[in-house]
Amino acid sequence: MSVNDKIVSDLVDNDISFVTTVPCKQLAGVIDAIDAHQDIMHVPSNKEDEGMGLCAGAFMGGKRSAIIMQNTAIGVTVNTLATLVQYYRMPLPMLISYRGELGEPVACQVEMAVHTKAILAQMNIPTYHFHHEDDVNELDKILKYTYMCNKPVAILTDASFWKGY
């Protein structure tokens, strides 16, 4: 099973049926797989905080939800994470492409990469980092953990995990 299929399969197995995405080159394959899956409602959003609002609404409507986004957007979602997702205690798996790591060709991406884990740590957001392809095998447990603790949880996926840029 490909990494993309494994991710989508774990989402579906954990009853996640609403996914919003803001694209990243590294995430193109998994976004395609989500869009194609009949058990997932895929609602692309224009900005990541908007997407978190959609996820909050879907969750309150009875659908487990998740967001797929790039780490450069962590900065613009700080307020939404603090005053909506965390304040109202909502679970939110965040599958995040970790741009600006080894293999990155675009220098500017490093500028947010160096802040990514610091911001997540400052916000007390449980954070996992997928670097090797086998790391994907932890996703199922991470999703169960998210719904156990009702928190936003970050899964950073770097270029090595995706086998290149």
Summarize as ranges the residues that interact with another protein (CB under 8 A): 18, 41, 43-47, 49-63, 65, 79-80, 82-84, 87-90
Rg (CA), the chain: 14
> Distance between CA 83 and CA 79 in Å, rounded?
6
Considering the complex, what minimum distance in angstroms separates the CB of residue 5 from another protein? 25
Measured from the CB of residue 76, what is the shortest distance to another protein in angstroms? 11
- 3-class SS of residue 97: strand
| Between 3 and 95, CB nearer to another protein | 95
- Name 13's Cβ contacts closer than 8 Å, sequence gap at least 6: 140
Nearer to another protein, 3 or 34 (CB): 34
Q: How far is the CB of 109 from another protein (least distance, A)?
A: 22
Residue with tokens 């449980």: 126
Residue 55 or 155: which CB sits closer to another protein? 55
Query: Which are the contacts of 45, defined by CB distance < 8 A and separation ≥ 6?
Result: 20, 21, 22, 51, 54
Please, which residue, 3 or 69, has the CB nearer to another protein?
69
Least CB distance to another protein at residue 32 (A) = 18
Beta strand 41-42 pairing with 92-97: unpaired
